[in-house]
A and B are shown apart, each in its own frame.
Chain A
Amino acid sequence: MSFFRLALRNLWHRPLRTALTVVGVGLAVAVAVSLIGFNLGYRESINVSIDKLGFQVMLMAKGCPYEAATMMLKGGTGLLYLPGTTFSAVKADPELAAITPIFVGVAQKEGSGIREDSGSSFAIVSGIDRSSFLAMKPWMTFSDRPGYQGGRWFADESSDEVVMGFEAAEYEQRKVGDRLYLSITPQGQTEPVSHEFKVVGILERTGTQDDGTVFMSLPLARRIFNRPDELTIVGVKLREFSGVALREFEKRWAALPEVQVVSLQQVKTTLVSLVETAQAMIGAVAAVAIIVAIIGVINTILMSVGERTGEIGIMKAIGAARGDIFQLIWLETLLICVSGGVLGCAGAVLGSRGVEEALRRLIDVGTRGSIVSITVEVLAGALVGAAVVGVFAGLYPAWRASSLRPVEAIREGE
């Protein structure tokens, strides 16, 4: 028999109460772990998504930069367009390392999809200049999974070839060589026009907005959307990317009446700060849950001490010193908290996918990648945190139990 085993036996002797307290701690830990996992995962996801845009600066039509940024990161509607001359003008900037024009449009998939629920969905269509676009995103490769082999880029002059992002192809259940039907409402018209395309390649998954995009040549996209000389974004890489260089670049080009220059660093900050508001609210909920759990643990142990007053008196009478009783009660508290910590960590890991879905429904996270990242460090931290809570939560009940005088405790227990 050891104090550890004795503490376990005591907890086991009141299984329902112990289980409920452990679950209470577990819930608080699960909320905290999920929140921290979301915080880490979201920042990482934003970083990956933005870094994989390939460019450092975007030129876009004046409007809400956040909306523009999220549109680039996960797709969206309400697009604004720049005149094509912007690209020609900016291309001459001496500080440029690379530049690419991008046209983004939204097509309806009405009647085109195999899936029943595809009738009401949209497809993001990107018209790109293949060579400059790929120079910015050299990691884009074709998938060679079954049915996806033999992929290639569309011919620049082609009028019906498209390349699909991995998720777009998976969602539409398209393979290389299949046909893709999109309904597009051209500029100036009210009725959509159906187009038939040939899928010539399906890209490997990148974890970014590109996975859900249908790529075609820039001239083709402009033509079918009836915006022959317009662009959505001009992506730019500077020779030297620094705050000073960016400000200088912004100064040179923000003067254009319809253009805004958005640094992707700013976009990161904007997105993170927007979500931080939601995080603060969830954090407050987690803090309340933790406080309630601590109070629950203290209450449970105090109740247990109250019920076992006589037992504690007996233990003292048969030789237990104050330190022995303190150690026993403190161990019981610690065991409850650590068990709750383990349960909470397991719950958070198993439920992380659900948490991610819930968060995506709750807030516009602005990225496609996984936004909950529960690492070993987070789990270890949560367990240590639960143990620390146990250490402190156990102090008062343990002190109270150890302070009982044996004669009075035995009398009270009878």
Chain B
Amino acid sequence: MNTPINQVCSTSQDPHLIEANNLKRWYTRGSETVKALDGVSLIVPPGQLISILGPSGSGKTTLINLLSCLDAPDDGELKFAGRDVRGMGEEALTEIRRGRLGFVFQKFHLLPSLSVRENVELPLLFLGRAPDQNFTDEVLGLVDLRDRAEHLPRELSGGQMQRVAIARALITRPPLLIADEPTGNLDRVNGEAVFNLFRRLVREQGKTVIITTHNLALGYLADRVITLEDGRILREETGRH
């Protein structure tokens, strides 16, 4: 099937992609209990670009891990695509996020032994789906890397690697993209290019994108800006785009 990317990557039919209510997550460090997240409530509707800002240790990554079902909260309510994920084991969480969520990491995390095309198509292997060559080309075209499809990650620049990671996140046609510090390892120009790509995905394809960032200038270009401090939401604002 060769369906254009802007048609298949439609928004979810659920009114809210994620509903989080009073989320808590704590870690034990020796005899001390550290509250990484202390009662965060948040609703993520479809079709928004949301920035999560905050200093190191404010709980950004913990929150994003919970929202992406990579981790489970110790307390509070979390619904992903309408399903309550409280008490779910790792396998159940994997099932929840498979195909519904694309993840982009700060350090790209491409498999060094695979070509750009193979890295992009890797999530399909885990979904048991055969790659659609045309769709892969389309996604690579979207991130402007079609001519680099057969290259290995070590032959790419940082900005190019991050764009491969975004293409990998898009290959399963998920309604939601979560990116943890996606511009953290990039220079200003590449950082802006990646951010603009996220904005295009929201505007043109109706996707929802949640990113964490230290870069306030970029972060405030989002539709919604959530600032965390000490595991709590300090403020929530509309972006300045």
Chain A interface residues (CB < 8 Å from chain B): 1-3, 6, 9-10, 12-13, 310-311, 314-322, 324, 405-407, 410, 413-414
B 92-126 to A, binary, CB cutoff 8 A, 1 in contact else 0: 00110111001101010101111000100111111
Partner of B109, one of A10, A314, A320, A321: A314
Q: Is B77 an interface residue (CB 8 A)?
A: no
Q: Which residue of B lies closest to A14 (CB)?
A: B113
Partner of B113, one of A2, A13, A314: A13
Q: Which residue of A lies closest to B100 (CB)?
A: A319
| Set of chain B residues within 8 Å of A12, measured between Cβ atoms | 113
Q: Is B91 an interface residue (CB 8 A)?
A: yes
Question: Shortest 3 CB-CB distances between A and B: which pairs?
Answer: A13-B113, A319-B126, A9-B113
* Bound complex: CA A322 to CA B91 (Å): 7
| Set of chain B residues within 8 Å of A322, measured between Cβ atoms | 90-91, 94
Q: Is B70 an interface residue (CB 8 A)?
A: yes
Please give the distance in Å from B35's CB to the nearest CB on chain A. Answer: 17
* Bound complex: CA A321 to CA B97 (Å): 11
Please give the distance in Å from A73's CB to the nearest CB on chain B. Answer: 57
Q: Which residue of B lies closest to A11 (CB)?
A: B113
Could you tell me if A319 and B97 are in contact, using CB atoms closer than 8 angstroms? yes
* Bound complex: CA A406 to CA B105 (Å): 13
| Set of chain B residues within 8 Å of A317, measured between Cβ atoms | 68, 70, 103, 105
Q: In the complex, which of the residues B91, B94, B95 has the most CB atoms of chain A within 10 Å of its own CB atom? A: B94
Partner of A318, one of B90, B91, B118, B122: B122
Please give the distance in Å from A13's CB to the nearest CB on chain B. Answer: 4
| Set of chain B residues within 8 Å of A318, measured between Cβ atoms | 102-103, 122-123, 126, 168-169
Could you tell me if A10 and B113 are in contact, using CB atoms closer than 8 angstroms? yes
Please give the distance in Å from A91's CB to the nearest CB on chain B. Answer: 81
Q: Is B131 an interface residue (CB 8 A)?
A: yes
Please give the distance in Å from B205's CB to the nearest CB on chain A. Answer: 19
Q: Which residue of A lies closest to B62 (CB)?
A: A407
Beyond A319-B123, A322-B90, is A13–B70 a contact (Cβ under 8 Å)?
no
7 contacts between A and B (CB under 8 A): A1-B118, A9-B113, A319-B172, A405-B71, A405-B90, A407-B71, A414-B107
| Set of chain A residues within 8 Å of B71, measured between Cβ atoms | 405, 407
Beyond A3-B125, A410-B105, is A321–B113 a contact (Cβ under 8 Å)?
no
Could you tell me if B70 and A1 are in contact, using CB atoms closer than 8 angstroms? no
Please give the distance in Å from B123's CB to the nearest CB on chain A. Answer: 5
Please give the distance in Å from B180's CB to the nearest CB on chain A. Answer: 9
Q: Is B127 an interface residue (CB 8 A)?
A: yes
Chain B interface residues (CB < 8 Å from chain A): 65, 68, 70-71, 90-91, 94-95, 97-99, 102-103, 105, 107, 109, 111-114, 118, 121-127, 131, 168-169, 172
Q: Which residue of A lies closest to B121 (CB)?
A: A1
* Bound complex: CA A86 to CA B98 (Å): 92
* Bound complex: CA A106 to CA B70 (Å): 85
| Set of chain A residues within 8 Å of B94, measured between Cβ atoms | 316, 319-322
Please give the distance in Å from B66's CB to the nearest CB on chain A. Answer: 10
| Set of chain A residues within 8 Å of B124, measured between Cβ atoms | 1
Partner of B126, one of A9, A311, A315: A315
* Bound complex: CA A9 to CA B70 (Å): 27
Please give the distance in Å from B48's CB to the nearest CB on chain A. Answer: 22
| Set of chain B residues within 8 Å of A405, measured between Cβ atoms | 71, 90
* Bound complex: CA A6 to CA B71 (Å): 26
| Set of chain A residues within 8 Å of B122, measured between Cβ atoms | 1, 6, 315, 318
| Set of chain B residues within 8 Å of A1, measured between Cβ atoms | 114, 118, 121-122, 124-125, 131
| Set of chain A residues within 8 Å of B127, measured between Cβ atoms | 319
| Set of chain B residues within 8 Å of A324, measured between Cβ atoms | 125-126
| Set of chain B residues within 8 Å of A6, measured between Cβ atoms | 114, 122, 125
Beyond A318-B168, A319-B94, A319-B97, is A13–B112 a contact (Cβ under 8 Å)?
yes
Please give the distance in Å from B150's CB to the nearest CB on chain A. Answer: 13
| Set of chain A residues within 8 Å of B70, measured between Cβ atoms | 316-317, 406-407
* Bound complex: CA A202 to CA B121 (Å): 72
Could you tell me if B91 and A321 are in contact, using CB atoms closer than 8 angstroms? yes
* Bound complex: CA A414 to CA B107 (Å): 8
Could you tell me if A319 and B99 are in contact, using CB atoms closer than 8 angstroms? yes
| Set of chain B residues within 8 Å of A320, measured between Cβ atoms | 94, 126
Q: Which residue of B lies closest to A318 (CB)?
A: B123
| Set of chain B residues within 8 Å of A316, measured between Cβ atoms | 70, 94
Q: Which residue of B lies closest to A316 (CB)?
A: B94
For the complex with contacts A2-B125, A319-B98, 9 further pairs of A-B residues with Cβ separation under 8 Å are A1-B114, A9-B113, A317-B103, A317-B105, A319-B97, A320-B94, A321-B91, A324-B126, A406-B70
Could you tell me if A321 and B125 are in contact, using CB atoms closer than 8 angstroms? no
* Bound complex: CA A321 to CA B125 (Å): 11
| Set of chain A residues within 8 Å of B98, measured between Cβ atoms | 319, 321
| Set of chain A residues within 8 Å of B99, measured between Cβ atoms | 319
Could you tell me if B126 and A321 are in contact, using CB atoms closer than 8 angstroms? yes
